[in-house]
Structure 1
Amino acid sequence: MLHEHHPLVGREIAVREAAPLSIRVAADCARFNLRLDPSHIEKASKAFGLRLPAKIGAVAVAGGRIAACLGPDEWYLTAPLAEQEAVEAAFADLYATAIHSLVDIGHREVGIEVEGRAALLALRSAIAFDIEAMPVGSGCRTIFDKAQIVLLREAEHRFRIEVWRTFADHVWGILQAASREVALDI
């Protein structure tokens, strides 16, 4: 029997001094990995109910759904939990005309929201690339310390991390340490 355990339930980190920082668990959602020949992007967009971005790193958001293009034929998709079965059914119907792989990865990943003027500082503590250069409305797969994540930049000072449940405590611990440094103005 499978018991669902959310490793970050009830946790929040909040720094309210000179450089505000809020780190919290993102609301749970349906998560999918889509692999598809880019020539079928229009059909997949119709099935998902959101125009899938064609450019690597681009993110589209509408109606509670998110689509991030992670590679030439790969998308990271999220939708409200209540819409999971509808998304799965739409892609099952699509398979007859556009061969693809839609994998439910909701059981393996959790989301963490990092927001505030010190968000970049907190993320820089464990991400090696220049996060400041990451445009708003973009996303990528990267490494946070030793954990693979999907990082979405939702606004200038708001990011979303999608991480495997097994690494969630590790990522949270590093963010917690970074938030202490922010609070102490180190």
Structure 2
Amino acid sequence: MADHEKAAGIELRPRPELGKLTLRATDEVAKLAADVLGRPWPAAINRAAGEVDDRTLRLGPDEFLMLVARTTVAGLVDRLRPALADHHHALVDVSARLTALELSGPMVRQALAAACPLDLHDSSFAVDAATRTMLGKAEIVLDRLAADRWRLAVNRSLAPYVEALLHEAGREFGVRTRSP
């Protein structure tokens, strides 16, 4: 192991075990979905709610992204479809399209800031903030899980580019990739 990896300020971890569902729905239908699933739901746009591996992000007025254990996706869909059948909505399993990368460590914010146009300071992008943005030339969904822990959701085809970009942006801090 190289010296810079031993003192890594950033750990990059692919999260292939996470499934992803998108829900497009009004507030009323989204609340119904939250009630059916018995899970916390973000009320405000660009916010997230739930636990690290069972989380819902509100990306727009009618757009939600759920990140859950991949093994639970089919069961969630089976519970939601009949409950939402009489309501205008779109529920799509996007697990094959999106992949998740998790970053942790004291220097993650600085590395992300090198390639992301958002103000990622604590006062602007606090824990449980979540939004669509760019990282280099790739569109991502960025979710702040904790003070020093972040998650990106990115199109699977762009994941190698994003990983390489993160290694370059975090080179001065040391980036270590952990196996999933």
Identity %: 28
Task: Note the C-alpha offset of 1:16.
Answer: 4.3
Aligned twin of 2:163? 172
Structure 2 residue identity aligned to 1:94:
A
Aligned twin of 1:131? 120
Distance 2:5 2:150 in 1: 16
Q: What is the SS of the residue equivalent to 1:181?
A: coil
Structure-2-length-normalised TM-score: 0.87
RMSD: 1.9
The 1:73–1:79 alpha-carbon spacing in structure 2 relative to 1, beyond 3 Å, is same
Matched, 1:59 2:25: no
Instruction: Select between 25-34 and 65-74 the one with higher mean Cα deviation.
Output: 25-34
Contact 2:22/2:63 (<8 A) preserved:
yes
Aligned twin of 2:177? none
What does 1:138-157 align with in structure 2 at a 5 Å threshold? 138-157=129-148
Aligned twin of 1:114? 103
Matched, 1:82 2:87: no
1:37 to 18, 26, 29: 26
Distance 1:79 1:24 in 2: 16
Structure-1-length-normalised TM-score: 0.84
Distance 2:108 2:25 in 1: 33
Distance 2:35 2:51 in 1: 13
After the TM superposition, which segments of 4 or more aligned residues of structure 1 sit over 4 Å from their partners? none
Q: What is the SS of the residue equivalent to 1:141?
A: strand
Q: What is the SS of the residue equivalent to 1:134?
A: coil
Number of equivalences: 170
Distance 2:94 2:30 in 1: 21
Q: What is the SS of the residue equivalent to 1:44?
A: helix
For residues 81-113 of structure 1, the C-alpha deviation after alignment (integer angstroms, 9 at most, x for no partner) is 221111111121123332210111000111111
The 1:84–1:135 alpha-carbon spacing in structure 2 relative to 1, beyond 3 Å, is same
Structure 2 residue identity aligned to 1:130:
D
Distance 1:162 1:76 in 2: 10
Task: Note the C-alpha offset of 1:40.
Answer: 2.2
Unaligned runs of 5+ in 2: 175-180
Larger RCO: 1 or 2 (CA < 8 Å, sep 6+) = 2
Task: Note the C-alpha offset of 1:42.
Answer: 2.2
Unaligned runs of 5+ in 1: 1-13
Distance 1:97 1:16 in 2: 55
For residues 106-162 of structure 1, the C-alpha deviation after alignment (integer angstroms, 9 at most, x for no partner) is 001111111111101111121011111201011101111111110000001110011
